[in-house]
Chain A
Amino acid sequence: MTDTVIAITLLWIFVFIYAVAASIDFGAGFWSMIYISRPQTEVTNIANRYLSPSWEVTNVFIVLIVVALVSFFPGATYTLGTVLLLPGSLVLLLLMFRSAFMVFSHSLEGFRKLLSIVSGITGLFIPALIIAVLPISQGGFIQTVNGAERLLMRKLFASPSTYTYIAFALGSTLFLSSLLLADYSKVSEKSAAYSIYRKGALAAGPISLLSAILILVAMKFSSPWLYTNLIRHSAWLIASIAAFTVGYITLLIGKPRLSVVSAIVQYLLASYAYGASHMPYIVYPTVTIQSGFTHPETFRALFASYIVGFLILAPGFIYFWRMFMKDRRYLKQQ
């Protein structure tokens, strides 16, 4: 593997981890809001018990992605930073409301409902906006005026393919979060919450699958280059659908842990296919992984620091996992 391929692979891994973790995070905030008036089901409790310790860690991955992009592909930063000014700032504004209000809602009993509603709803807008990076990166929405690149916002939000992505983001957020929380409630032995989350996952799963298929259909017209490449990777896509089916069946028969694993495999396969088809472009057709790549010396130093950093932090992650995902004293508290 060349340095550029290692770098884009690492970036892809971070994006994948964030995509899954953030879907669960934002989705959990949404479920916590929806069931806030029905405390007896414990749906809200379960969501908050997951969110409270984990949201900070999830948030670090946004920063990690931005830093990895800037440090591995500074050339791409220039273009992306310029064109994403408006949508990026909008995401930042929403993120501020979402995170702060979520934290405040645990501190101000009197305003809990209002604060949860704001954070639950802003939390759904965030993935819907972030995913717009994908159609932007596929080309057609950037225009160069007097040497400066500009995003064609109108065109972006008039394009049906953008909405297929948004539908996919929302579907996946609800699907992944309810699936994980179904498993979490089962481990915590909260049967009412479990059955609600299970129903949520059973409903959202097909929506996410359907919107993924719509993405492909719309892509055929909006980004034929990517569509052709994806069809070349269709084995991965079929395997992904198979993983979805396995996950759906295991959920139906009441094995949420298996179902979570299958869903992660499903997304892994699909996003590999997408990522591989997108190569070598970061932003089509101007920025490629080669044209945007960082200085090789910097890359080597960064790579070393990733290895050392994650090795040092590994015990911390393991301890964290044991404290919040497995410890029955935490899970079963009322």
Chain B
Amino acid sequence: MDDVLLARALFGTTMGFHIIFATLGVGIPLMILAAEVLYQRTKDTDYSIMAKRWTKAIAILLGVAIPSGTIAGVQLSLLWPGFMEVVGKVIALPFQIEIFAFLLEALFMSIYVYAYDRLSSSMRILSVSLVALGAVASAVLITNVHAFEGTPTGFRIENGDVVAVDPWAAFFNPGFYVTAGHVALTAYMTGAFAIASIAAFKMIRHRLQQKQFALHQKALLLSLAIGGIFSLASAVNGHGNAQFLHRHQPEKLAAAEGLFVTQSHAPLAIGGIVDRENKQVKYAIELPGALSFLAGNRFDEVVRGLNEFPEENWPPLFIHLLFDSMVGVGILLILLSIIGFSWNKILKREGFPRWMMWGFIASGPLAMLGIEFGWIFACTGRQPWVLYHIMKTADSATKSGNLGILFTLFFGMYVFFAVVTGLVMYFYFRRHPLSSELEQDNLSI
């Protein structure tokens, strides 16, 4: 592999690892906040126990989220010095403001966790709200830089120099709202489904212990409600993302859909394999006119195909599969939460059928896969550009070599920490089972 490819692989691996913990770091604080608020309103101690246990989980996850994020931040400068030079001159603001979001989150996370017993209930809610605010703000701000890569605004490059810089125009680049919105909404849905998975799993395991079962069922319903709302919102907003691509990065949309010929009434290809040689999508289900409708809300909208662009600037064509998988996850999870929630609240059935429980258990990992697919789609779909139509990825990469060994080391380390973090979670919660907390609670009341 050449150095640029290694740099891309290394950075992509780092991000693919960080995003797991980062997404949970955004999504779970919202769940904790919801549980705290429910506890204040209902005085049902089950909610307070949930909040405490989820907080412990987040405290463990942050032990990996923070150093891996630090790695991501420093690696940007180490691997893409050419890109970061432009970032420093033009789009430094979101990075800068993100620091304040990190500080906000770090300060109030410590206050919430280590001063819990000394806080009044309203101070608890305020602290956990500020944690959640800090987390989502950091996600929105970093995504702003990503959006800027897709729609670079607020500067020009003349003879290799960056000129006519307007940092606020760069900050409010056309991709900002829709992209940051999508990242925040999908993080919330993923946090909720992660909780749903665990609650459903525990319900199967503890069918007979009434109190534990009841607590897990409350957690499941809460997460289905929140997950359902946010997965609907993500889909609506994802539609906006697709329309945004149609306007600003047409070759990415074309590759995502395997569309070669510019046309009105363009069909939507679901699944299948994009065939570069014959310029078609093999084995796909085609919905006539649907892509035009998706892109412009009308069937006669003209969608540009890949043939309009020089082939060396095409993104890799496998992103079609990533895009479809992401959308598939979204639709599946919307259905699952609607069915599950209505089953319990509208049909008022006791318990859930077994297939549905396994669906809930799968929902968290599925949502996380959606996040991974979406990001790899977004970043790989931008290739060969690091700054769309301005700077090539290859031109911004480091020239210092030694990347093979670094890739191996970091890759190994991420595998190691993925396993170890899982084990730490498992052993911690096995040593501190819910049953003991429920008992304590009985004694104290």
Residues of A bordering B, CB below 8 Å: 52-54, 56-57, 59-60, 62-64, 66-75, 77-78, 80-86, 88-89, 92-93, 95-100, 102-104, 107-110, 147-151, 294-295, 297-298, 301-302, 305-306, 309-310, 312-313, 316-317, 319-320, 323-324, 327, 329-330
Chain B residues with CB under 8 Å of A74's CB are: 84-89
Q: Are A60 and B428 in contact (CB under 8 A)?
A: no
Could you tell me the distance in whole angstroms from the C-beta of B401 to the nearest C-beta in chain A? 8
Chain A residue with Cβ nearest B127: A319
Complex CA gap A332/B103 in Å reads: 27
Known: A59-B70, A95-B70. A298 touches B89 (CB 8 A): yes
Chain A residues with CB under 8 Å of B113's CB are: 53
Known: A73-B88, A81-B84, A95-B71. A305 touches B110 (CB 8 A): no
Q: Are A88 and B62 in contact (CB under 8 A)?
A: no
Known: A56-B109, A78-B82, A316-B107. A305 touches B428 (CB 8 A): no
Chain A residues with CB under 8 Å of B75's CB are: 89, 92
Could you tell me the distance in whole angstroms from the C-beta of B423 to the nearest C-beta in chain A? 9
Complex CA gap A181/B52 in Å reads: 30
Q: Which 6 A-B pairs have the closest CB atoms?
A: A103-B63, A74-B88, A71-B92, A53-B110, A81-B81, A148-B399
Complex CA gap A80/B427 in Å reads: 42
Tell me the residues in window 390-404 of chain B with beta carbons closer than 8 Å to chain A beta carbons. 398-402
| Interface 9-mer from B359-367, B413-421, B436-444 | B413-421
Chain A residues with CB under 8 Å of B162's CB are: 295
Q: Are A302 and B93 in contact (CB under 8 A)?
A: yes
Known: A56-B62, A56-B106, A148-B400. A302 touches B111 (CB 8 A): no
Q: Are A312 and B100 in contact (CB under 8 A)?
A: yes
Q: Are A100 and B417 in contact (CB under 8 A)?
A: yes
Complex CA gap A303/B85 in Å reads: 18
Chain B residues with CB under 8 Å of A102's CB are: 63
Residue contacts A-B, CB under 8 angstroms, 10 given: A56-B109, A69-B77, A78-B82, A86-B400, A92-B75, A103-B59, A298-B92, A313-B103, A316-B108, A330-B115
Q: Are B81 and A96 in contact (CB under 8 A)?
A: no
Complex CA gap A184/B82 in Å reads: 45
Q: Are B108 and A63 in contact (CB under 8 A)?
A: no
Say yes or no: is B167 at the interface (Cβ < 8 Å to chain A). yes
Could you tell me the distance in whole angstroms from the C-beta of B376 to the nearest C-beta in chain A? 22
Q: Are B115 and A323 in contact (CB under 8 A)?
A: yes
Complex CA gap A153/B401 in Å reads: 13
Tell me the residues in window 67-114 of chain B with beta carbons closer than 8 Å to chain A beta carbons. 67-71, 73-75, 77-82, 84-90, 92-93, 95-100, 102-104, 106-111, 113-114
Chain B residues with CB under 8 Å of A63's CB are: 69-70, 73-74, 99, 102
Contact of A99 among B66, B100, B111, B118 (CB under 8 A): B66
Could you tell me the distance in whole angstroms from the C-beta of A102 to the nearest C-beta in chain B? 7
Q: Are B78 and A67 in contact (CB under 8 A)?
A: no
Q: Are A324 and B115 in contact (CB under 8 A)?
A: yes
User: What is the size category of the interface that chain B forms with chain A?
Assistant: 35 or more
Chain A contact surface mostly: helix
Q: Are A316 and B78 in contact (CB under 8 A)?
A: no
Say yes or no: is B300 at the interface (Cβ < 8 Å to chain A). no
Q: Are B96 and A305 in contact (CB under 8 A)?
A: yes
Chain B residues with CB under 8 Å of A62's CB are: 70, 74
Complex CA gap A83/B401 in Å reads: 10
Q: Are B417 and A77 in contact (CB under 8 A)?
A: no
Could you tell me the distance in whole angstroms from the C-beta of A283 to the nearest C-beta in chain B? 13
Chain A residues with CB under 8 Å of B67's CB are: 59, 92, 95-96, 98-100
Chain B residues with CB under 8 Å of A97's CB are: 413
Q: Are A81 and B88 in contact (CB under 8 A)?
A: no
Say yes or no: is B410 at the interface (Cβ < 8 Å to chain A). yes
Q: Are B70 and A85 in contact (CB under 8 A)?
A: no
Q: Are B103 and A316 in contact (CB under 8 A)?
A: yes
Complex CA gap A139/B85 in Å reads: 22
Could you tell me the distance in whole angstroms from the C-beta of B2 to the nearest C-beta in chain A? 14
Q: Are B88 and A77 in contact (CB under 8 A)?
A: yes
Complex CA gap A245/B110 in Å reads: 36
